Chains A and B, each alone.
Chain A
Amino acid sequence: NAGVTQTPKFRILKIGQSMTLQCTQDMNHNYMYWYRQDPGMGLKLIYYSVGAGITDKGEVPNGYNVSRSTTEDFPLRLELAAPSQTSVYFCASLRAADSYEQYFGPGTRLTVT
């Protein structure tokens, strides 16, 4: 199993541009999450999904959108990028049936200038 994979690893955006961060897991996990980590801080929840077709907001959802059309994929969309969205973005998943342990991807480092 590859686990949780994220693309791209790095990206630089200009203010006002849009992009999609990709997240895929091959563990058949039903719960998936997007977190962001600002410099010197812990991670904060942006959006989460408890299964295909079901998504909900976390603590810091403004400026982002998500979709969950399949169990495997959970893309995060940034519309009209702003400097405040400069951060490292982590995707995670968990199985839920027998454990609460979350598995994290390697992260995407995004800079908005």
Chain B
Amino acid sequence: GIQVEQSPPDLILQEGANSTLRCNFSDSVNNLQWFHQNPWGQLINLFYIPSGTKQNGRLSATTVATERYSLLYISSSQTTDSGVYFCAVASRDTGRRALTFGSGTRLQVQP
């Protein structure tokens, strides 16, 4: 099946810093989503971005499907950005459209 690798696994930032999270995947996809899991376990859908670039406030994401990677940018980080960021993809080869998740990037933003 499709493989999803996220980097870095852990990241510690000072409030106000910028960061880039990376997601590499091993096959063609028809779906790529970025999620933020907050400290209470809630899974928040950040972006649905199988290709192209999107922005939402301080967050933006870019997926280059032909090169099989996606980037999530966080600018001017805040303590509320802390948590785990997951990239998840759905392989183009299967009809079930289920998501395969990476292991996540654990982000800690310090005041």
> Chain A: residues with CB nearer than 8 A to chain B?
31, 33, 35, 41-45, 48, 50, 56, 58, 88, 90, 92, 94, 96, 99-104, 106-107, 109
Contact = CB atoms under 8 A, between A and B. Distances in A.
A42 B33 contact: no
Interface residues of B, number: 24
Interface stretch (B11-19, B53-61, B94-102): B94-102
Contact of A42 (B48, B95, B96, B101): B101
A48 B90 CA distance: 13
B96 A100 contact: no
B43 A42 contact: no
A1 to B, nearest CB: 15
Given A50-B96, A100-B97, A42 B102 contact: yes
Contacts, number: 56
A48 B97 CA distance: 10
A48 to B, nearest CB: 6
A58 B97 CA distance: 11
Contact of B30 (A88, A100, A109): A100
B8 to A, nearest CB: 15
B66 interface: no
B97 A103 contact: no
Given A42-B88, A42-B104, A102-B31, A94 B97 contact: yes
